[in-house]
Chain A
């Protein structure tokens, strides 16, 4: 092999080696960049989750505070008013005043019941003491008493709470969704079912009114007015779960799935 031929081969080899090294460094730097971006994304997600968690917690604390104030202060004042009202000797009053006295007592009793109801709704006592299923049953039964609404529940009793904080979030989502159904769908029947397996808990709500589709949910949750839907979405993110809306001509459903490992 002559010098010229050898020089040519060396030249080609050097050029190829240089380009190969360049390409290798380029690929490594791109991969590093990708990893950095993924790390940043994870960090952002974790910060977002922390913010949501803080918002959900502060909302729960605020609910408790309002519930306690209503129960201990407003409730106490109303009970004391009732005692004072009962202390009035109704026999000494004329018939008209007796009627007013009775009406006053009736309204006061209704007020006390309402305050207790609101306070229990805001507080999660039943949830903490008897678990999620019992809290849902209690909430739904109370609704059927208050409104002209047919309600039923088919809940999986094999579900055992692993994280009470998760149950509060699930319960609040159900409260919000049921309230929305009552407010907007004009339905006459609500049915709540649940099933629990190794993967997680699935809660479905069925109603016969006019329901939201998944697309509408995605649209409304970004609106300023859609605070309830935004809260539902936040809680779903926090639980690493899913919420699915289905709207049909005769039946509508909302399904919440919370994975077993979805923790706050």
Chain B
């Protein structure tokens, strides 16, 4: 967040700046609902904040899809437009007919990470196909995509099995969520690195 304030975003990283701020609000809301629920006893269940995970997932997919759409790529450019469309259709069908929005949705989060992973891989393939070598160590988009890749690669199986795990091994579910938190910190660090590089690139012209 400090990095997003300190280093002015370019057109490519604008969605990420927006994501960082929305994620901040969502994470704070999550904590507040949970903590105040316990303190003031207005919440009957500790899982009352779970709908925010679903909201976070939708926001993350939409904003990162926007981020990938900003990057000009020659390989399957239409597929990047298809990703948010598929996801929106899925969540509408899923939450209207199959699942409650207030419950943790393994399907939604695993589909989100799967689609984001597809976008990340597409980004790498496009770079590999370019004739010009990309100075990827200096490219903010590369760092943000790599951070996101690590996050989605680790969390895809966690999200996929999470409903089953919580139902059968509640204690293990709490521990495995720490792994999610670690990868989320890694994602934030990579995003910060990306923001830092924007400033460096502007400085170097």
Q: A residues engaging B (CB < 8 A)?
A: 2, 4-5, 7-8, 11-12, 15-16, 18-19, 22-23, 26, 29-30, 33-34, 37
Contacts and interface: CB of A to CB of B under 8 A. Distances in A.
A12 B157 contact: yes
Among B127, B133, B176, max chain A CB count under 10 A is at: B133
A19 B164 contact: no
B23 to A, nearest CB: 22
A210 to B, nearest CB: 33
A4 B164 CA distance: 9
B150 A19 contact: yes
Contact of A15 (B121, B128, B157, B164): B157
A30 B157 contact: no
Nearest to B134: A30
B158 A12 contact: yes
A19 B153 contact: yes
A16 B153 contact: yes
A8 B173 CA distance: 11
Interface in B115-161: 121, 124, 127-128, 133-134, 136, 146, 149-150, 153-154, 156-158, 160-161
Interface SS, B side: helix
B119 to A, nearest CB: 14
A219 to B, nearest CB: 21
Contacts of A33: 133
The 8 lowest CB-CB distance pairs between A and B, nearest first, are A11-B157, A19-B153, A33-B133, A34-B133, A15-B153, A12-B157, A8-B161, A26-B124
Among B121, B128, B157, B168, max chain A CB count under 10 A is at: B157
Contacts of B172: 5
Interface residues of B, number: 24
Given A4-B164, A8-B165, A16-B154, A29 B128 contact: yes
B169 interface: yes
A12 B154 contact: yes
20 contacts: A4-B164, A5-B165, A5-B169, A8-B176, A11-B157, A12-B154, A12-B158, A12-B179, A15-B154, A15-B157, A16-B153, A18-B153, A19-B149, A19-B150, A19-B153, A23-B124, A29-B128, A30-B127, A30-B136, A34-B133
Nearest to B124: A26
B181 to A, nearest CB: 14
Contacts of B134: 30
B128 A26 contact: yes
Given A8-B161, A34-B133, 5 more contacts: A12-B158, A15-B153, A22-B124, A26-B128, A29-B128
A30 B161 contact: no
Given A15-B154, A16-B154, A19-B153, A26 B165 contact: no
B157 A22 contact: no
A9 to B, nearest CB: 9
A16 B156 CA distance: 11
A4 B161 contact: yes
